[in-house]
Each structure stands twice: as structure tokens, then as C-alpha cells.
Amino acid sequence: MRKWGLALALAAAVPMGGCVQMQQYADVQFTPPQGNYKLLVLRPDVTVGSITTGGMIEPRADWTEQARTNIVAALRAQQATQGGQVLVVERRNELQGVTAQELADIERLNSAVAQSIVLHKYLGETLPTKRRRGLDWTLGQDAVRLGQKTGYDYALFMHAEDQVASTGRVLLGVLGAAGCFVGFCAPNIGGATQLDYASLVDLKTGEVVWFNVVRAGSEVPGIKFGDLRTPQGAAQMVDRLLGRMKPGQAVRQAAARESR
Amino acid sequence: MCMRCLELSRRSLLVGGGVAAAALTTGTAQARVRPQDMQPLIGPGFKPTDRDEQGLWQLMERAEEEIAGSNLLMNDPALTGYLKNLIGRVGGPAAQDMRIYLAHIPEFNAVMFPSGFTVIFSGLLLRARNEAQLAGVIAHESGHFLRRHMIRSWRDQKRKSDLLAIGSMVAGVGGAGAGVYLGDYVQLAELGAILSLFSYSRGMEAEADAMGTRLIAEAGYPAAEMASVWQQLIGEESASARYRGKRRRRGSLFDSHPSPDSRMADLRASAAEVTIPGRPYDNGRARYLNAIGPIRPMMLDDQVKLNDPGASQYLIQTLAQDGWNGLLRFYEGEIWRLRNRRDDDDRAAQSYAAAVVYPDAPADAFRWHGISLLKQGRSGEAKQAFSRYLVMKPDAPDAPWVRQMMG
């Protein structure tokens, strides 16, 4: 599946330390949405799984549901502070005036564009034609039509996946750490990992105006970095992912000139 | 859980001489699974209750939504209705729960997903010679679901990877404590675990074959047709390999599926067991041809454009065992024309000439027949062929050109 391919590519790109990493890009003319704007959140893609002792990822339906509920609540709360009106679309047929097929097409288009953004912005395959131009990608007229049909200003696509180390995995890590005393040191077998990314599309122009990737992880099982199953963890994730939107380069430079 | 999945890179798995050692314990040959031992493990309206299976199903919900809305799907209601009906006949207790999708992919394959939906590739509809053969493949896929193969193999993988992780860690720490290096043994155990996963997977395929045989026999199809599917596949692969100057790949320790040869042999034996003497069995050929008729030209067109003349020719010969017609003759000509070796234009011309004699010859057969005749200097006959082409396809994009050729 395309979405997983993207997640895997990102997982490989960001080195696995015991840390939280964020990297956002914005259109040079981007100003974070403020005041009275309408935001459409298209099917937040959430999966929470458990890391088995052997290192396989076991998807967990109950945890995923819990995390999805928490994330949606955290998202509404976070957007309310910016003054935005938010509609979270959970199913493709929920949006008035837009068929499920049209929404599916937009999602797939975004997925392809996001793949390209990840390749050229995060995986080091920089394009000479897009150098120093911030984020220069667009979903084109399809996104503009979605805006016209629904009356929304922005669309937000969001992906979050969280893997929680099972007790067995944590114990295996403990054994690996204990081995350090006899000369076989293997505490870093890989523990909890979280990968989130989001893209914001301006439905007036169709352009992808902002993109952010957050990766939190630990090579040592047992260390946690915000658990999406808890409201606090979800709020922390939404804040990391969406709470620190920076304006685009041109906007920042203009602001700097003004303050001088 | 598909009919024939992509093979993993075997070379990357080869670790020194451990192969030979591990082979002694796993082995490729497996005993045949008997159809009478294959009881469905789920009833109608099955919903998962175990935590791991619920997680798997939830993941599949989105996968199905994605597949159901894919533009690779063929959504002709007559055809999808036909397939739905078919899985309803051979799906056992889950017949009413399973969903079936048809993907426009010119390959011989079908896939069952853990939550009970299956995707049939159009290449399968081209290769099946009758309803019984298609029903056999669908029944095999249903067998995976009825025998709960996905969750069982997931648990098998989980158990083995857990044991391996614990074993490696204990060997590392314990070995370091005792002052010996056990790394080689850990590698060997790793290989053993990988081989046993493949062996487990082949076991599931054998189960699905046995279950499938039983299901189609109960639905009144001749069960031997399932073995014929593999016989045809072996023939096609051999023809394709021969054409490319290669040898057909045989089974190995690292296969997720048993080799077509052993499947064919096992299916023959199973078919004999489930066949009740005196009971009438119908392969449903007329019904089948009627259902796939509208898309057969498209499927043949896909096939000849795969640039695998060996396989394409074998396939057309096989289909023609049930009788030649204009469509098959035309695409036989297309294989030669597209191959374009020495004398291939003569072969193609013969096929086109043979095609136009049949009442079902497609318009393009007349077009290419006309062009062949022109090349031979038989312009009078060519004109007739071209005018027939224009009558059959008045809106043809090349109509002005054809008119000019007619002079």
C-alpha cells in the first residue's frame, strides 16, 4: 500500500536515536491559518500496534480506536485556539456534495504528491528546479473544486502511527542491557516508535502550503515518547505536528524587514 | 494468501552451508492433505473475537475500501454479479460473507485477504477454460478464509520470531558469560526459522487446495478441473521459458507455495477421492463463455501485448482445444505480427486469413487481413476486406487512411 511505503521511507530516512525529530516545510508565501477559517480534516489515518518480543508489529484495533478518538479531540481543541472551524471527515461518503469517489481521488492524489515531497525534501533527492523555493507542490484544480463545492479554506491530511513495546519486548531489552555486564551489550534492540506526518492544502489555490513530519522513537524498549492511547499523549502529538506552524520564508523576511 | 505470490529474493536468504543442515529438518516434500480432513473452521457471519485477529481485520477495512474504489477494478455489473454468484456457490459456510473483486491485471493470480475479501486478476479469467476451473481457484481462496490461514500463519510467525529473539539474546548473553561465541548457531537457527515459515506457508496452500477440491465437488463441478489449471500453467511456463531459451523454475526450499507440479499431482489424487461415482458433474463451460464473452477480446489483447510470445501462443493453443474461432485466430496472428521475426508476417497473414472465415471475427481481423493482402499484391481482395472493416467499425479512427488504401 502506498501509504505504508511512504511511512517506511520516512522511517528509514530519519535516523533512529532516542529522540523526537521534527522537520517542517512551507510555501514561501505561507501564513499559518488564523482567525475565521474553515478547515477540512480528511480521514486521519491512525494505527497503533504492539511490538512483539520478536519485533513484529501487531495491529491493535482497540488501541487504534482509542488513539483516533484522542487525536480528533486534541485536534479540535488545538484548532479552536487558532479560531478555526473544523470538520473531521471519518468516512468517504460523509462530505455533503462530494462523492466518495471524488474524495478517494483527492486522497490518492495527495498521497502521490506527499510521496514526492518526502522523496525530494526529506530523503535528500533535492530538485535543482525547486531549490530555495520552500514547498512548491500543488494538488491542482481538483483541490480547488473541492474547496468550491464544500466552502472550506484548507484541507488537512494526517497520518499517525504508534508502536508500543510489549512487555516481552521490554524484558528482552532488559536482558540485553543486563548482558552489558558480561560483555554482550544489546539494549538497543528497538522500542516504541511513533511516526506522524501532515500536509495542509490551500483549497483556494490547490497548493500544498505546509508539510510536517514528526518522528519519535527509542532504540531501547520501555522508554516512551507520548502515548497516543492517552489524551495527553495525543495532545502532545497534535502540538508537535501542528502546533508550531512557521510562516513561509518570504513572509518571515518581510516581517523581519518591517521590524527593523 | 495468493495463488502464486512473488518469490522472495532467495539469494539474500542463503547463509553459507546452513542450507543443507536445515534442509534435513524441514524438507520440501510434504504429505498430501486429504480433502475429507478439511473441515471449515468458521461458520456463517464470522467475526473475530481474538485481539490480534481484530487488529488485523481493522487494518483490512481500509485496505478493502482502497481496493473497492481502485480504478484497476472492473465494475461491469453482469460480470461482478457472475463472480459473486460463483463464490456464493463454492464459498462453503462463509459464502454469503465473502466479497469478490475483479482487477484488470493480465496475470494468472487471485488473492484472499484476512477479512474475507478476494481479488481475482483478469488474467485468470482468460486462462480458465470453463466455470469449474475458475470455481476451483475461487474455492481455493475461500479455503484460505474458511481455514483461518491468515491469522494462523501470523501467529506462527509471531511465535517463531519471539523464540528466535529470545534464543539469540540468551545465546549472546549466556555465551558471553561462559566465554564462548554462539553467533554461528544463532545464524543457523535464524535460517531454520525462515525455512520453517516457508514450509508452514506451503502447508497452508496444500490445505487450501484440498479444501477447494472438496468445495467444488460438493457444488457439482468436476474436481479434476482444478488439476487441469495447474497442468495448463506448467505448460505455459515451460513454453514461455523455452521461447526465451531458459529452463522453467522448479520448486525450492524458499518457496511460499508448493511447486505447480506437486500441486497438480496432489489435486489429481484429491479429485479422485471427492468424486462420487454416478453423480453428474457439470463444468459449466457455456455459462462461463457467456459471462466472460464481452471482455475476452480485451483480455487477449492484454496478453499478446505482454511481449511473451511463448506463453501467449501456448495459451491460445490451449483455449483452442475447445474449438478455434475468429477471435483466437486473430490474436494468434497478432502474436506473430508483434513478434516480427523472419517470416512472421506470413504466419500472421495466414492467421488473419483464417480468422475472417469465422462469423465472430473482430473488425480488426479484416483490417489486418486487408493489409496482408495488399502486401501480397492482391489489392482486389484487400479492398473487400477493408470495406468489411469499415462496415463493422464506421467510426474507426483510421477510417480515412483505410479509405485511401482502398484507392
pLDDT at B17: 39
B236-264 pLDDT tens trace: 988 888 888 887 777 677 777 788 888 88
Q: Is the pLDDT of residue B171 over 90?
A: no
Q: Are residues B19 and B148 in the same domain?
A: yes
Q: Which residues in chain A have Cβ-Cβ distances shorter than 8 Å to B173?
A: 175-176, 178-179, 182, 184, 186
pLDDT at B254: 73
Q: Which residues in chain B have Cβ-Cβ distances shorter than 8 Å to A104?
A: 69
The least confident of B23-37, B137-151, B341-355 is B23-37
Q: Are residues B352 and B240 in the same domain?
A: no
**B400 found inside a domain:** yes
Q: Are residues B233 and B349 in the same domain?
A: no
Q: Which residues in chain B have Cβ-Cβ distances shorter than 8 Å to A69?
A: none
Using a CB–CB cutoff of 8 Å, tell me whether B51 touches chain A: yes
Residues in contact with B334: Cβ distance below 8 Å, sequence separation at least 6, in sequence order: B301, B304, B348, B368
A58-77 pLDDT tens trace: 888 999 999 999 999 999 99
Assign B223 a pLDDT band (cuts: 50, 70, 90): very high
Q: Which residues in chain A have Cβ-Cβ distances shorter than 8 Å to B164?
A: 54
Give pLDDT tens digits along chain A (260 positions).
Answer: 445 556 555 555 444 445 778 888 888 889 888 888 899 998 888 989 888 888 888 888 999 999 999 999 999 998 888 888 889 988 888 888 898 888 989 999 999 999 899 889 888 888 988 888 889 999 999 999 999 999 999 999 999 888 888 888 888 887 887 777 777 777 677 777 888 899 999 999 999 999 999 888 777 776 667 788 999 989 999 998 988 888 888 888 888 888 87
Q: Which residues pair with A154 in a beta bridge?
A: A39, A202
Q: Are residues B207 and B137 in the same domain?
A: yes
pLDDT at B196: 78
User: What type of residue is B14?
Assistant: L
Rounded Cα–Cα distance for residues B368 and B349 (Å): 8
* Nearest residue, CB atoms, A55 vs list B66, B161, B175: B161
Q: Are residues B235 and B348 in the same domain?
A: no
Q: Are residues B262 and B386 in the same domain?
A: no
Q: Are residues B254 and B372 in the same domain?
A: no
Q: Name which of A51, A172, A180 to mutate to probe chain B: the one with the most chain B Cβ atoms within 10 A of its Cβ.
A: A172
B109-152 pLDDT tens trace: 899 999 999 999 999 999 999 999 999 999 999 999 999 998 99
CA separation, residue B252 to residues A231, B18, B199, B233 (Å):
51, 15, 10, 18
Average pLDDT estimate for B314-338: 95
Domain of residue B394, residue span: 324-406
The domain that holds B388 is classified in CATH as: 1.25.40.10
Residues 98-157 of chain B whose Cβ lies under 8 A from any Cβ of chain A: 157
**B5 found inside a domain:** no
Strand A207-217, strand A19-26: pairing = antiparallel
**B36 found inside a domain:** yes
Question: Structurally, how many domains does chain B consist of?
Answer: 2
Q: Are residues B129 and B255 in the same domain?
A: yes
Q: Are residues B364 and B263 in the same domain?
A: no
Average pLDDT estimate for B15-44: 64
pLDDT at A10: 59
pLDDT at B4: 53
The ipTM assigned to this model is: 0.75
B67-121 pLDDT tens trace: 888 888 999 999 999 999 999 999 999 999 999 999 999 999 899 999 999 999 9
Rounded Cα–Cα distance for residues A149 and A202 (Å): 14
Q: Are residues B139 and B24 in the same domain?
A: yes
Q: Are residues B330 and B198 in the same domain?
A: no
CA separation, residue B250 to residues B72, B107, B112, B254 (Å):
31, 19, 25, 11
Using a CB–CB cutoff of 8 Å, tell me whether B66 touches chain A: yes
Q: Which residues in chain B have Cβ-Cβ distances shorter than 8 Å to A100?
A: 69
Q: Tell me which chain A residue has its CA closest to the CA of residue B51.
A: A60
Contact A172 B166 (CB under 8 A): yes
Using a CB–CB cutoff of 8 Å, tell me whether B65 touches chain A: yes
pLDDT at B193: 76
Q: Are residues B248 and B350 in the same domain?
A: no
